[in-house]
Structure 1
């Protein structure tokens, strides 16, 4: 089979399975609403949980940073790309989350890949939650370590895997809040078991940071643990983009020497780091925003319960409505758009077969009438 035949066959199969993915060109994209083809929609697909992506303070910080430092870093941080805003942001993040060090990355995907790729060696094992993010599972499967997966959020399942002998080191991998189910990991239990086995715990808290815990410090802070490796991202509650990995001093120095994603990538623009410093302050001072988000979650879940909608048991901003069939999920999403609500259908391979869903996300920018309109549309949907 030629390259062209292989590509064509894969595309045909993806269409046949109703798993075809396509991008939508938007003219406006805000936390609470977006615009497509001249029509405005209520946005229930954004991860901008606190609505900071268009916060005037953060925009001004980026503009001032661009005026001072330009619009790009120009090189890897190991060459000339490491500027004062990068160092200040790393120090502020480390202090905020009570870690010795923080290292900046261009994305959470890169941070997860870099940490696992640099640390894992032959003879080691990586024990990952079955529903962990693709960046974590891919990094583990590509590493020389052995990958084993424990049942989702089941500490007893992890305990059984930890009981097996291992010649090398053990890295346990999970998320704080799971991106597709919206549920939270039992981090305290997982951390205790990992420590008892002499291993390290890596927590990807992309969907918990900024939203949970005191000052939005995240899932680990809320459950009173400090994992050996903590990855936070800035494309959700921070409203910007990028990521950071928090760890101890020797590990940070090790990653600076051996993490290829860090060494061989152009650093994030210094202006972006300035914007992230402003976003950090907004997150720290964002109790009112977190309160509004919490109230919106309660309103939506109470309404959904009254209407008998099959939501998964999530107390977070991610509210998945289980549909099952992939074609049905697409039709459901299309109907909601006709009603002015933008909700994305999530299908395999992003989620397990038979668990296609609408991934509804709530933000602090949604008003009560936005949520009520969504509930009405969900209730009226044909064939639900």
Structure 2
């Protein structure tokens, strides 16, 4: 009888274990750092004040008194939780108000609110697609989209990031697969901060009779005149079939939604397992999202969106002038250029990115770091992101820190264990 294989061996012997131990010994682990106060432009983190350039709080609404009041009112009226799914005892008038206003904002028939943005993608894609269907997705799509594709058991045809010619090839091959075809792309890609060329993607999907779903997690509340996302910015709202969004970025809460045709939303409402078998979001989260949405849809929301995009341009230009490698702005169909609030600094090597992250952290600036396997080997980056509530003083202080640490890590050797098996 063959010896039993211990399932836990993969946790105890994985390829990056030595690197992780060495990183901990040198305090180079950039993850799970403790936030000790409100998530604003400057935060209390592990005993000192740091400029926050690693948050998705794009409009700075998590600290807005009106949003906090909306959360408190929902908490006071409905309690701390609903202890059941939306499908059973977990639907409040607040959910219905939020869904109605989201649908209006997106210019869609209807919307469905999920407890998390991850669940919105999983619950939509894995319900609509099944074995025999085909999903065509960008290689840079969010993990929740890729997980949903696996759960659906549909045929997956990925295409190279933002390569519409490769999308066309995938759609041509999908025509012979025999089932329905769904194209799924991020509107704004969460690591690179670039936009999908939605005008050309929408045209390609239509030519091949495929449906198109856009993940607007990082676009809603930021892009377009109404803040309705990348679809609005590209002028293709009427050519996109489904639009997903999240509350954990600009909407200052936690949760997600999908908006689209009424009959499709109704189908998801009674068929999506991720919706039916997940407890409803706590009332305070729904109240906060509704409060934030109403600010975004006001004249003040337009000002906040202009401010965050202006801050993005300022940081992007400053980093480029310091010699850091940053992505080129996206060129929209009308010829205008756009820098999203996500401004990545391309570093390359994992260990160098970790060292640069630590130098910035010690200098009082927090950024996110993306290492393999979150990004391809050799493509490590520092993901900076701005808020509407960052002042020029905040950004100038951050750029001064980038200038101070710029050359410090170039010749700084990594601990030998950090480079073993890495990029």
TM range (shorter): over 0.9
Distance 1:377 1:292 in 2: 22
Contact 2:182 2:211 in 1 (8 A): yes
Task: Give the Å deviation of 1:356.
Answer: 0.5
Q: Does 1:64 align with 2:73?
A: yes
C-alpha offsets along residues 95-123 of structure 1, whole Å, 9 cap, x if unaligned? Answer: 12111110001111111111111111222
1:205 alignment counterpart: 216
Instruction: State the distance in 2 between where 1:21 and 1:371 align.
Output: 21
Q: By how many angstroms is 1:13 displaced?
A: 5.8
Residue-by-residue CA offset, 1:286-311 (whole Å, 9 max, x unaligned)? 12211221221222122222222111
Match of 2:334 in 1: none
Structure 2 counterpart of 1:48: 57
- For residues 288-344 of structure 1, give each alpha carbon's deviation from its aligned partner in whole angstroms, at most 9, with x where no partner exists: 211221221222122222222111224111010011111110110110011111112
- Equivalent in the alignment of 2:6: 2
- Please state if 1:289 is matched with 2:294: no
Taking the aligned partners of 1:79 and 1:302, their CA distance within structure 2 comes to 51
1:48–1:236 Cα contact (<8 Å) kept: yes
> Greater CA deviation, 335-344 or 295-304?
295-304
Where does structure 1 lack aligned partners over 5 or more consecutive residues?
Answer: none
Please name the residue that 1:108 is paired with: 117
- Write the distance in 2 (CA, Å) between the matches of 1:37 and 1:199: 49
Contact 1:126-1:147 within 8 A present in 2 as well: yes
Partner of residue 263 from structure 2, selected from 245, 250, 273 = 250
Q: Return the alpha-carbon distance in structure 1 between the equivalents of residues 230 and 52 of structure 2.
A: 25
Q: 1:139 and 1:75, CA in 2 relative to 1: closer, same or farther beyond 3 A?
A: same
Contact in 2 for aligned 1:319/1:360 (Cα 8 Å): yes
In the alignment, the residues of structure 2 paired with residue 305 and residue 15 of structure 1 have an alpha-carbon distance, to the nearest angstrom, of 31
C-alpha RMSD of the superposition = 1.7
Q: TM-score, normalised by structure 1?
A: 0.96
Deviation at 1:141, TM superposition (A): 2.4
Give the one of 202, 207, 218 matched to 2:229: 218
- Could you tell me which residue of structure 2 aligns to residue 75 of structure 1? 84
- What corresponds to 1:363 in structure 2? 387
Query: 1:14 deviation in Å?
Result: 6.1
Q: Is the 8 A contact 1:14 1:20 kept in 2?
A: no
Alpha carbons 1:31, 1:49 under 8 Å: kept: no
> Hey, what's the Cα distance between the residues in 2 that align with 1:91 and 1:120?
26
Three-state SS of the structure 2 residue aligned to 1:236 is coil
1:27 and 2:36 equivalent? yes
Aligned residue pairs, count: 384
Give, in angstroms, the shift of residue 142 of structure 1: 3.0
Deviations 1:142-170 (A, max 9, x none): 32211111111111110111112220011
CA deviations over 1:7-31 (Å, ceiling 9, x no partner): 2112626627969674122211423
Q: How many Å apart are 1:268 and its aligned residue? A: 1.2
Equivalent position of 1:141 in the other structure = 150
TM-score by length of 2: 0.87
2:97 to 88, 93, 96: 88
Contact 1:319 1:361 in 2 (8 A): yes
Moved over 6 A (4+): 16-21
Counterpart residue number, 1:299: 314
> CA, structure 1 residues 162+81, in 2 after alignment: closer, same or farther (shift >3 Å)?
same
Aligned counterparts of 1:102 and 1:245: Cα–Cα separation in 2: 6
Worse overlay, 88-97 or 20-29: 20-29
Shift, 1:264, TM fit? 0.3
Whether contact under 8 Å (2:30, 2:354) holds in the other structure is no
1:342 to 366, 372, 378: 366
1:33-72 Cα distance to aligned partner (Å, 9 max, x none):
1112320100000000000011100100111111111121
Q: Distance in 2 between matches of 1:282 and 1:246?
A: 20
Residues 228 and 13 of structure 1: CA distance in aligned 2, closer, same or farther (over 3 Å): farther
